[in-house]
Amino acid sequence: MSEARVCRTVKQVETALLADQRFHLPGKKALHDGSLDLTVIVVDASQQGIERPQKNSAGSTPARRNAIHQKGQIVLDRCSQKILCVAISAGKTHDFALFKDSRLAQPPTLELLADTGYQGVNTLHPHRQTPHQKSKHHPLTPEQKQQNHDLASRRISVEHLLRTLKRLRILSSTYRSSTYRNRRKRFGLRLNLLAAIANLHQWLLQEV
């Protein structure tokens, strides 16, 4: 089977999934429009490789090296284990920079759980929890270590969902040893669809 035929088949499947409302994410508006009963959300991001640009393409060598990375961010409702929305960025982007670019409008009463990549999110969202970080002259106290442990326990659900998406290679960070590299085009569309499939899978597990 030729590559062109595979691409046409994949696009046909994507078009069919987009026509079904079950494969649509609630989106960023669900965070503040009151359509969902949200109390705690969890945010995390993962970097993955994409196909390498052509050597004769425009841009310098460092620009081409930076272009082989892409980052995806997911926002999860901790109660229902449902992915609310996703965001992507091209190149090597810091987690907090991606969070700011995604422009999530969260009500102040909504609790946000994040990892150390989101240090500084308190300037945008006061009701947040991020891990304590130690320094050379300021080690963590036992209370801070316990708080970090409790936060990790509350955030484990988003790590499990990221693992599900990585099994589909859409957020695989081990791209150098992988036989599949994401295409740069339609990456956001495919991440949305696979996140919706993960939501449907989670719903089926709860119904059983």
Spatial strand order in the sheet of 82-90: 82-90, 69-77, 40-49, 111-113, 128-129
Asked if pLDDT for residue 200 goes beyond 80, the answer is yes
Residue 2 dihedral angles phi and psi, to the nearest 5°: -75, 160
96 alpha carbon, distance to own chain's centre: 12
Asked if pLDDT for residue 185 goes beyond 80, the answer is no
The pLDDT score that the predictor gives to residue 150 is 94
Tell me which amino acid residue 105 is. Answer: A
The pLDDT score that the predictor gives to residue 54 is 59
The domain locations on the chain are 25-207
Residue 92 or 176, more confident: 92
Average pLDDT of the residues of the chain: 82
Distance CA 165, CA 73 (A): 11
Cβ-Cβ contacts under 8 Å for 15 (sequence gap 6 or more) = none
- Angle value at C-alpha 143, between 150 and 122, nearest 5 degrees: 65
The pLDDT score that the predictor gives to residue 52 is 64
Stretch 48-52: mean pLDDT: 69
Distance CA 199, CA 93 (A): 26
The pLDDT score that the predictor gives to residue 175 is 43
- Segment 106-165, tens digit of pLDDT: 888 889 999 999 988 888 888 889 999 988 889 999 999 999 999 999 999 888 888 888
- Segment 33-42, tens digit of pLDDT: 877 888 899 9
